[in-house]
Amino acid sequence: MDNKFYKINIYGCQMNVHESEKIAGILEEMGYTFTNDDNLADIIVFNTCCIRENAENSLIGHVGALKPLKKKKKGLIIAVGGCMTQQNGVGESLMKTFPFVDVVFGTHNLHNFKNLLENRIKTGKRVIEIKEGDLSICESITPKRTSYPNAWVNVMYGCNNFCTYCIVPYVRGREKSRMPSDVINEVKSLINEGYKEITLLGQNVDSYGKTADFNYDFADLITEIDKIEGDYRLRFMSNHPKDVNEKLVLAVKNSKHVCRSIHLPVQSGSTKILALMNRKYTREEYLEKVNLIRRHIPECAITSDVMVGFPNETEEDFLDTVDLVKQASFDGAFTFVYSKRKGTKAYDMDGHIDEAVKKDRIMRLVDVQNAINREKSKKYNGKTVTILCEDYDDKKGFYQGRDEFGRMIYFYSNKNLIGEFVDVTVVETGGISLKGEIKG
Ligand code: 5AD
Ligand code: SF4
């Protein structure tokens, strides 16, 4: 058989990056080889995201741009999957808008992707499959991992929280935890294969096991994984502040491999807005969780997601957010402008905020976090830290890696150190990323 090539375009979060590794695994098993070139590809897959409007808009543009190629190359298969297709009616409307798209599949149809493709190839007919309801966990897909020395491992799927701005619970269904033994065995084999940093993934890892029929929580899981011998780091994301408790913090503290770094999305610093968001904690309760972490693990990095422009956010509410960001002194924050998502509760709320006001607030918030980053960077000056060398940046001519607190450090080396733990001394500090030199 001639070589057949696939390309995958990924949108959105880490969850999607890992899911794309599963799609790649299926395609490789079918005999396809990866390419980065649209012209060479026999199949192009779009793994979509719908968490914010801009991700959707860029998908529409990219799929549309393939029309001429599809005209030229009749055998080319274009498949669109992931969160966006799972929204009410969106899968069908994608099929209508783009008559040259061959396969549309939902978030819960990944395990059937091979069949869908084979169907398309055999019958020549366009296929759409979007399963509603709960996910049935599929343990039989072997992902084609693309981020050595890092590896992602799902611990759970879906979300039960229904934050009023968020589309995730509608497109990924209710929480489903994998069996502890499945997770532990996957991590064990990754460590045996030489992976050095394992990140456990879930929309809200702190509720691991809560809806399952086993009596085992996330703290139990990381404690058990930590017993696996080897030279590796363990990370996890994302957390929900309402579910972070002392048991989890102590599990991190007492572990050998878990990084002292916790992602704790706050979203807003205003108790009024948090209630409208259905976050189930107040500003004070959030800060108490920050204290809990810092009381037990003073050096622990805490990062966050912060949103501006949620409906009814006044200038005063926004200033509460700015104040909280300063008080919590985050070691990094992803900042977002609220994006209206059809089907969520917030979509139908009164009091949507003017775009210009949102823009002004995000710029002010980013300035505040940047100033915190610069201050924290200064503390790195002259310090020697251990980083895991993860990649080589062709453009900059530097290797790059992160310390256990998640700080990215660039450094020069004449030998390939990807996958090794390296001691570097920080010689230049600017914004959030630092420049270092290898010790000795
Ligand atoms: N608009 C803007 N940001 C959002 N997020 C989730 N939904 C929206 C939305 N509708 C952000 C939250 C979440 C992160 C993954 O994405 O901050 O923590
Ligand atoms: Fe969305 Fe909230 Fe669930 Fe996170 S916890 S995925 S923000 S609904």
Give the pLDDT confidence of 345-365 residue by residue, as tens digits: 999 999 999 999 999 999 999
Cβ of 265 less than 6 Å from ligand 1: yes
Q: Which residue bears the tokens 């029309």?
A: 67
Distance between CA 211 and CA 214 in Å, rounded? 9
List the residue whose alpha carbon is closest to atom 18 of ligand 1: 305
Distance between CA 391 and CA 388 in Å, rounded? 9
Q: Please calculate the CA angle 234-239-244 and round it to the nearest 5 degrees.
A: 100
Residue 131, pLDDT above cutoff 90: no
Residue 393, pLDDT above cutoff 60: yes
Cβ of 166 less than 6 Å from ligand 2: yes
Distances (CA, A) of 310 to 84, 286, 296: 22, 18, 33
> Which 3 state secondary structure label does DSSP give 60?
helix
Query: Which of the pair, 135 or 295, is modelled with greater confidence?
Result: 295
Helix or strand (DSSP H, E) at 20:
helix 14-29
Average pLDDT for 265-286: 98
Best substitution site from 171, 240, 263, 280 to test ligand 2's pocket, by max atoms within 8 Å of Cβ? 240
| Contact in structure between 56 and 342 (CB atoms under 8 Å) | no
Instruction: Record the tokens describing residue 380, joined without a space.
Output: 């790195």
Q: What's the pLDDT tens digit per position in 111-124?
A: 899 999 999 999 99
Q: Which ligand is the nearest neighbour of the Cα of 264?
A: 1
Which residues, in sequence order, are CB contacts of 380 under 8 Å at separation 6+?
407, 426, 429, 434
13-46 as b/e: b if 16+ CB within 10 A: bebbbbbbbbbbebbeeeebeebeebeebbbbbb
pLDDT at 337: 98
Q: Please calculate the CA angle 180-185-186 and round it to the nearest 5 degrees.
A: 100
Cβ of 391 less than 6 Å from ligand 1: no
Residue 134, pLDDT above cutoff 80: no
pLDDT at 137: 84
Residue 74, pLDDT above cutoff 60: yes
Q: Ligand 1 centroid to 101 CA: how many Å?
A: 28
> So what's the architecture of 4-129 in CATH?
3-Layer(aba) Sandwich (3.40)
Average pLDDT for 85-103: 93
**For the ranges 112-126, 127-141, 240-254, 332-346, which has the lowest average pLDDT?**
127-141
Distance between CA 423 and CA 413 in Å, rounded? 12
Instruction: Report the chain's mean pLDDT, rounded to a whole number.
Output: 95
Which residues, in sequence order, are CB contacts of 359 under 8 Å at separation 6+?
337
Q: Ligand 2 centroid to 262 CA: how many Å?
A: 17
> So what's the architecture of 260-378 in CATH?
2-Layer Sandwich (3.30)
- Which atom of ligand 2 lies closest to the CA of 267? 7
Task: Indicate the pLDDT class of residue 395, thresholds 50, 70 and 90.
Answer: confident
Q: Ligand 2 centroid to 373 CA: how many Å?
A: 26
pLDDT at 13: 86
Residue 191, pLDDT above cutoff 70: yes
> Which 3 state secondary structure label does DSSP give 123?
helix
In the chain, % of residues over pLDDT 90: 90
| Contact in structure between 354 and 372 (CB atoms under 8 Å) | no
pLDDT at 135: 77
Task: Please compute Rg for the chain using Cα positions.
Answer: 22
Domain layout of the chain by residue ranges: 4-129, 147-259, 260-378, 384-438
Q: In 10 A of CB 189, how many CB atoms?
A: 11
Cβ of 161 less than 6 Å from ligand 2: yes
Task: Indicate the pLDDT class of residue 82, thresholds 50, 70 and 90.
Answer: very high
Best substitution site from 11, 50, 278, 307 to test ligand 1's pocket, by max atoms within 8 Å of Cβ? 307
- Which atom of ligand 1 lies closest to the CA of 340? 10
In the chain, % of residues over pLDDT 70: 100
Distance between CA 367 and CA 375 in Å, rounded? 12
Distance between CA 150 and CA 419 in Å, rounded? 8
pLDDT at 56: 87
Task: Indicate the pLDDT class of residue 440, thresholds 50, 70 and 90.
Answer: low
CATH topology agreement for domains 4-129 and 260-378:
no
Residue 127, pLDDT above cutoff 90: yes
- Which atom of ligand 2 lies closest to the CA of 240? 5
DSSP class of residue 312? T
Query: Which of the pair, 433 or 153, is modelled with greater confidence?
Result: 153
Q: How remote is the C-alpha of 67 from its chain's centroid?
A: 30
> Is the CATH code 3.40.50.150 the one for domain 147-259?
no
Query: Which of the pair, 56 or 144, is modelled with greater confidence?
Result: 144
Cβ of 155 less than 6 Å from ligand 1: no
Query: Which of the pair, 110 or 271, is modelled with greater confidence?
Result: 271
Instruction: Record the tokens describing residue 337, joined without a space.
Output: 């402008």
| Contact in structure between 40 and 34 (CB atoms under 8 Å) | no
pLDDT at 1: 56
Q: In 10 A of CB 121, how many CB atoms?
A: 13
> Is the CATH code 2.40.50.140 the one for domain 384-438?
yes
- Which atom of ligand 1 lies closest to the CA of 339? 1
Distance between CA 234 and CA 198 in Å, rounded? 5
Average pLDDT for 162-173: 95
Q: Ligand 1 centroid to 87 CA: how many Å?
A: 16
